[in-house]
Amino acid sequence: MADGADAGAKARAWAPASLTLTAGRDKSGRPEAGDVVLRPGEITALLGPTGSGKSRFLSDIESLACGDTPTGRRLLLDGRSPDADERFELQGRLVAQLTQNMNFVLDLSVRDFVLTHALSREAPDPQEAARRVIAAANSLAGEPFDPGVQLTQLSGGQSRALMIADTALLSWSPALLIDEIENAGVDKRRALDLLLASDKIVVIATHDPVLALSADRRLVFEHGAVRMTVVRTGEERDILARLSEMERETTRVRALLRKGEPLS
């Protein structure tokens, strides 16, 4: 096998069974509650007021922190610190990221963009892979779009739907970090289901109760550090079902009002 193909196969196959963030310190230098272990197929939500350190926690994962950030945390892969070579190799590969302000600047059609990505990911049937990504994106987006449309013409919601579908179905990154996409104009529940099925480590900083309760557990932040970990209870699942139903109803009424249709 050629070197390039070798590297590709390695990148595809590599997925840690766990990522650990060792306990750091808060903004006053006080020690953090404990280590946090993240595993594939699990959703972890980050909660806490603005400025409490949620985005910093995501950055510590993204940059493979090794005690060199304000929090002093270290990121361990499968329980051990990566050496300098591994860190270099993993820069930009470990995580895919979704943020609120994301728009495309490329002058390409959606179809060509996704197909190019599918080819670079060595998908066995790139055309089919691209078709699936676009179909999934359309099932997440409030307003569907045509595969022939230019990327720059997508709305914010459509762009994020495409990024989520692309990440879930084509990305090699074993971890996905999401920073406050609550008003993203995408179907949140479906997006999470799609991401979960991809068996990635999913970490979401959010103020949205539905997203927070969709997570298996919640890390509560205060003053730059994790203050406590809360595991979702059965009762909270019931509350999630009720909140989701209310949200669906709000969405339905909004759509009718927009079209000037009667609510009854």
The answer to whether the CB of 263 falls within 8 A of the CB of 256 is: yes
Task: Give the three-class secondary structure for 157.
Answer: helix
CB of 203 to ligand ADP, least distance (A): 12
Binding site for ligand ADP (CB under 6 A): 24-27, 48, 50-56, 70-71, 205, 221, 224-225
Q: Which does 174 bind (CB under 5 to 8 A by kind): Mg ion, ligand ADP, none?
A: none
Q: Which does 150 bind (CB under 5 to 8 A by kind): ligand ADP, Mg ion, none?
A: none
Q: Which does 133 bind (CB under 5 to 8 A by kind): Mg ion, ligand ADP, none?
A: none
Report the sign of the C-alpha dihedral through residues 83, 88, 89, 93, in that order: positive
Closer residue to Mg ion in complex, CB, 57/113: 57
**Nearest residue to Mg ion, scored by beta-carbon proximity:** 55
**Does 59 help bind Mg ion (rule: CB under 5 A)?**
no
- Give the DSSP letter of residue 65: -
From the centroid of its chain, how far is CA 174?
A: 11
Residues 6+ apart with CB under 8 A from 115: 126, 127, 130
Q: Which does 26 bind (CB under 5 to 8 A by kind): Mg ion, ligand ADP, none?
A: ligand ADP
CB of 53 to ligand ADP, least distance (A): 3
Q: Which amino acid is at 255?
A: A
Q: How many helices (H) and strands (E) does the chain have?
A: 9, 9
**Does 55 help bind Mg ion (rule: CB under 5 A)?**
yes
Q: Where along the sequence are the contacts to Mg ion (CB under 5 A)?
A: 55
